[in-house]
Amino acid sequence: MRKSLPIFVIAFLIATAGAAAFAAETPATSGAAEGVVNINTADAAQLSLLPRVGTKAAQRIIDYRTQHGKFQKTTDIMQVKGFGDKSYERLSAYIVVEGPSTLTAKVRSPRKPRSSKASNSRRNTAS
């Protein structure tokens, strides 16, 4: 019993320090830029600051807004061609329908790593 107590205390301290370090790093490593874009008032340049949104997609948002009126809620962006559930999940933290646009820099979303299946097939053909 006496031997296990110091081990438990050391493990607890390591776990606590690791959790505190992770919590301190999370905002910086999340890749989240500060600011939002109002999809009802933003121009193409402001919309292009959103992750994985280029000039063509920004123009589709503007065209949809011109034809159908203002977006009532952020989920309405899924009505625009090329924007579905996955796009909305990626953009939801950065878009609003009221207030000013405050995003000032392009948000870069991390790319997903290639699947092991694709990298294995490439290795097999190279050898």
CA distance 106 to 34: 10
* pLDDT at 45 (0 to 100): 96
* pLDDT at 25 (0 to 100): 45
pTM for the full predicted model: 0.63
Quick check: is 66 in a domain?
yes
pLDDT band, residue 126 (cuts 50/70/90): low
Quick check: is 84 in a domain?
yes
| Structural domains in the chain (count) | 1
Quick check: is 121 in a domain?
no
CA distance 73 to 97: 6
Quick check: is 58 in a domain?
yes
Quick check: is 47 in a domain?
yes
Q: Which of 42, 45, 66, 40 is nearest to 55 (CA)?
A: 45
Q: Which helix (H) or strand (E) holds 18?
A: helix 4-29
Quick check: is 51 in a domain?
yes
Residue 51: give its domain's CATH number.
Answer: 1.10.150.280
Q: In terms of residue numbers, what domain contains 71?
A: 37-96
Residue 29 confidence (pLDDT) above 50? no
CA distance 103 to 47: 9
Quick check: is 122 in a domain?
no
| Residue tagged 């050898």 (tokens) | 127
13-22, 67-76, 101-110: range with lowest mean pLDDT: 13-22
Type of residue numbered 64: Y
Quick check: is 59 in a domain?
yes
* pLDDT at 109 (0 to 100): 76
